[in-house]
Amino acid sequence: MNPMKIAVAGASGRMGRMLIEAIHNADDAILAGALDIAQAPSIGTDAGAFLGAAQGVLIESDLASGLAGAEYLIDFTRPEGTLKHLEYCAAHGIKMIIGTTGFDEAGKAAIAAAAKKTAIMCAPNMSIGVNVTLKLLEMAAKSFAEGYDIEIIEAHHRHKVDAPSGTALKMGEVIADALGRNLDECAVYAREGITGPRDPSSIGFATIRGGDIVGDHTVLFAGIGERIEISHKSSSRVTYAHGSLRAARFLADKPNGLYDMQDVLGLR
């Protein structure tokens, strides 16, 4: 079986390097391209230099050069960059694994449209554990539909630019759907001053940013006389890299279509 030819966007960043290392260590994948912004000091250097193991692939800012030999692109960058990559990949039949968060409705629509031309796996969190947690939350929400207040608490490193995290929002969506609610209508993102009693139909969010926290998420179902907490804590980005490779394997026989990690893990 031929190895998967995978390119990585944001190749100079922390997640990009984790992905490159995971590809380097995988038996069924090779690094076929590496992208970063034109201003990145790593442009023109070997993508595996940080590993001390040359990959024979230079970090490029030009999409045509960086993706010339790729069958897949794994992208954990910013919405504006991902959408540019998306347009190119859709036009050239390159499959995408998208872990970028913070898309607006127009961005989500663009991803759905591109999926008619190529296969795309898009999820706010590639961790297998997080996606199993989402399934547990769906089950729990149905059991705690009455008499339990729902709060979602998330913590990430100081460099994260969007809040709440994409994973926290996905948790909220899963819970709201299970309860027959619309998250846009019941979400509460901030509390200050005299807020009055808590609306029992609301889903609250609390955001923490600090240090080098990779990603912690807890959903609290608070009832009278008991509370249930379902948590997932990430100690390394390697879980996201391994999940991304699993997603690439899932897309191998898919000519087009939009999928998420629930599809990859067979949790539908």
CATH of the domain at 115: 3.40.50.720
Q: Are residues 101 and 164 in the same domain?
A: no
Task: Take residue 241 and report the two structure tokens written for it.
Answer: 């890299």
95 contacts: CB under 8 Å, gap ≥ 6: 71, 72, 73, 89, 118, 119, 120, 248, 251, 254
Query: Quick one: pLDDT at residue 135?
Result: 96
Q: Are residues 223 and 242 in the same domain?
A: no
Helices (H), the chain: 14-25, 63-66, 79-92, 105-114, 128-143, 166-179, 183-186, 238-251, 261-264
Residue-wise DSSP of 178-239: HHT--HHHHEE----S---SPPTT-EEEEEEE-TT--EEEEEEEE-SS-EEEEEEEES-THH
Tens digit of each residue's pLDDT (9 = 90 or more) over 201-250: 999 999 999 999 999 999 999 999 999 999 999 999 899 999 999 999 99
The yes-or-no answer on residue 84 being catalytic is no
Q: Are residues 155 and 207 in the same domain?
A: yes
Query: Quick one: pLDDT at residue 208?
Result: 98
Task: Take residue 84 and report the two structure tokens written for it.
Answer: 């540019």
Domain hosting 211: range is: 128-234
Answer whether 103's CB lies under 8 Å from 239's CB.
Answer: no
Q: Are residues 133 and 228 in the same domain?
A: yes
Q: Are residues 64 and 112 in the same domain?
A: yes
Side chain identity at residue 24, one-letter code: H
Q: Are residues 79 and 207 in the same domain?
A: no
Q: Are residues 110 and 96 in the same domain?
A: yes
Q: Are residues 35 and 87 in the same domain?
A: yes
CATH of the domain at 195: 3.30.360.10
Query: Quick one: pLDDT at residue 1?
Result: 74
Query: Quick one: pLDDT at residue 189?
Result: 98
Of the candidates 92, 117, 160, 254, the residue annotated as catalytic is 160
Name residues of the chain where pLDDT drops below 50. Answer: none
Number of structural domains found in the chain: 2
Q: Are residues 116 and 11 in the same domain?
A: yes
Query: Quick one: pLDDT at residue 160?
Result: 93
Query: Quick one: pLDDT at residue 260?
Result: 95
Q: Are residues 151 and 138 in the same domain?
A: yes
Task: Take residue 56 and report the two structure tokens written for it.
Answer: 């024979």
Query: Quick one: pLDDT at residue 178?
Result: 98
Of the candidates 156, 170, 217, 232, the residue annotated as catalytic is 156
Q: Are residues 12 and 116 in the same domain?
A: yes
Give exposure, 80-96, as e/b (b: 16+ Cβ within 10 Å).
ebbbebbebbbeeebbb
The yes-or-no answer on residue 160 being catalytic is yes
Q: Are residues 10 and 118 in the same domain?
A: yes
